[in-house]
Amino acid sequence: MTHWNDATAPDAAGIEAMARDALAALPPEFAAHAGDIAIRVAEFAPDDVLDELQIDDPFELTGLYDGVPVTEKSVSDQPGQPDIIWLYRRPLLDEWASRGNVTMGELISHVVTHEMAHHFGWSDDDIAAIDRWWE
């Protein structure tokens, strides 16, 4: 059981630091592709993103990969914006509090790993087939 008197909610910089730790902990064959990914933290996903994903409750989206998966990139592509993993602070805090059985670092590590799987071209169904975290 979590003792909330001793728990503090991390700010955006704290969440970003945990996400960078999660990227640094990836196995070497995956970590090599993580160096070019930007980490951004926002309180919630913007309304247009939620609309595009058909999500009504902004607390349902804790993270998002925004970029071109490595399986779809070409050496002839002109670089545009960097690939980004977005982390949404308030939904992460809500999930952390409601679970009560994981640390914030574990939750962020899981979300970052999930979004990295999208970077490697995996679909949500592909990820769900091997990752039962959300059950």
**What are the extents of the domains in the chain?**
4-70+80-130
Predicted confidence (pLDDT) per residue in 58-83, tens digit: 999 999 999 877 777 666 666 677 88
pTM: 0.83
Where does 1-135 show beta strands of DSSP type E? 38-42, 63-66, 84-88
Predicted confidence (pLDDT) per residue in 106-121, tens digit: 999 889 988 888 877 7
Give the CATH number of domain 4-70+80-130: 3.30.2010.20
